[in-house]
Amino acid sequence: METYQIEPVGYVVNDFDDPGHRNKIKESPSTILLYDRFTEGLLNIEACAFLDIVYYLHKSEGGQMSGRTPSGDVRGAFASRSPARPNPIGITTVKLLVHDHNKLLVKGLDAINGSPVIDIKCCDTSLFAAEMDSDPVHNSILKSDPRIEIRNHIAGNRTEILMLKAGQMHGHFCPGLAMGIMAATWAMNELSTDSDGMEDLLSITETNNCFSDGVQFVTGCSFGNNALIFKDTGKTAFTLAKRDGNGIRICSKPGSRKVIQEAFPDYQRLFETVVAEQDHDPALVAEYKKSSLERAFGTLSLPLDKLFRMNRIQVDIPAYAPVHESIVCSVCGESVMDSRIVCQENRPLCADCAKTPYSILTGDGIRILSHT
């Protein structure tokens, strides 16, 4: 049988010289120090929230194919994490806390001081995420309370997590989305309320751009559940109101754009080069994308009072959205909400078949469109 030689890339530094305290070791941060010639391998490691650390169990006496676990079960070496195994190699998933040159500060590592580190890999969590999504307990909680996670993140003011989730709907990350998340989180906590998707909480948004997606995601007042009202004034502003008319209006300050520009000067410089002057050098484009992401997420940390003005107001709340009957258009045969039916010669027609004007919401706002 062939054997292989492995050269460590670094070693573990912590306060534990004895392997007897596995849980204590895991709870304390450990440092992984890399030998100089491997430092380049840490480039952009910050992109990995979790890492798999492969290390040598240098104090293991090795060899046993089975043994007792701490709880008394007998298990094979491959069915346990016992250090006594044919190849004394440990693999642990850790959280990356800090990266500084050739040093990584991590949490969750169970290796003792001086353990040789063989390899570090970016942890692939996609399987866990997929399992979590299909976990029956998790799903039954979400079925009875679909906004539980969002609500907890609002109460904890975890705008970065809210933005990550809102990005799944919005499709990209930008300061507009960030401002919507910030304003909506602020308003939700001020009104100490939550949307049940039943119109007891209403949002009135005054712009149909990125900002409003942040507002819809955080407040739960959406186009589809009739709890979102669009007031087409073209302002980066929104009002959150309860059924009793108590509301909060948050409007961006005229200087907010400048505050963001000044906070991220690198982005501004790269924008001029890559977008305005159309320089598509791959290294510059990569730098531009990176700084654009930093600007979007960095906006979340800017002071609220520099970006917004907030007022408590009384709002005239519209009636609950009526439940409409559907009527079938006598020309195209498609069913139409009764309030949109046009009667011509005693026949019900849709606006398309009757060729009557209708309202349309586009990137340009609401307008009346006439058939030509």
Could you list the residues that contact Zn ion (CB under 5 A)? 174, 176-177, 210, 329, 331-332, 350, 353
CB of 172 to Zn ion, least distance (A): 5
Whichever of 202 and 350 has its CB closer to Zn ion, that residue is 350
Work out whether strand 228-230 and strand 201-205 pair parallel, antiparallel, or are unpaired: parallel
CB of 145 to Zn ion, least distance (A): 28
Q: How far apart are CA 117 and CA 32, in angstroms?
A: 8
Whichever of 274 and 317 has its CB closer to Zn ion, that residue is 274
CB of 53 to Zn ion, least distance (A): 37
CB of 240 to Zn ion, least distance (A): 20
Whichever of 141 and 332 has its CB closer to Zn ion, that residue is 332
DSSP states along 151-191: HHHHHTT-HHHHHHHHHHHHSS--HHHHHHHHHHHHHHHHH
- The residue written with tokens 């706002």 in the block is 365
Whichever of 91 and 369 has its CB closer to Zn ion, that residue is 369
CB of 334 to Zn ion, least distance (A): 6
C-alpha 203: how far from its chain's center? 22
Whichever of 82 and 208 has its CB closer to Zn ion, that residue is 208
For residues 26 and 110, the answer to whether their CB atoms sit within 8 Å is: yes
For residues 97 and 107, the answer to whether their CB atoms sit within 8 Å is: yes
Three-state DSSP class for 282? helix
C-alpha 95: how far from its chain's center? 18
298-305: list long-range contacts, CB under 8 Å, 24+ apart: 298/263, 298/264, 299/175, 299/178, 299/179, 299/182, 299/260, 299/263, 300/159, 300/160, 300/163, 300/178, 300/181, 300/182, 302/259, 302/260, 302/263, 304/182, 304/186
Whichever of 6 and 360 has its CB closer to Zn ion, that residue is 360
CB of 54 to Zn ion, least distance (A): 40
CB of 216 to Zn ion, least distance (A): 13
Handedness of CA 144, 149, 152, 157 (dihedral sign): negative
Whichever of 110 and 213 has its CB closer to Zn ion, that residue is 213
CB of 214 to Zn ion, least distance (A): 9
Strand partners, 360: 367
Whichever of 161 and 331 has its CB closer to Zn ion, that residue is 331
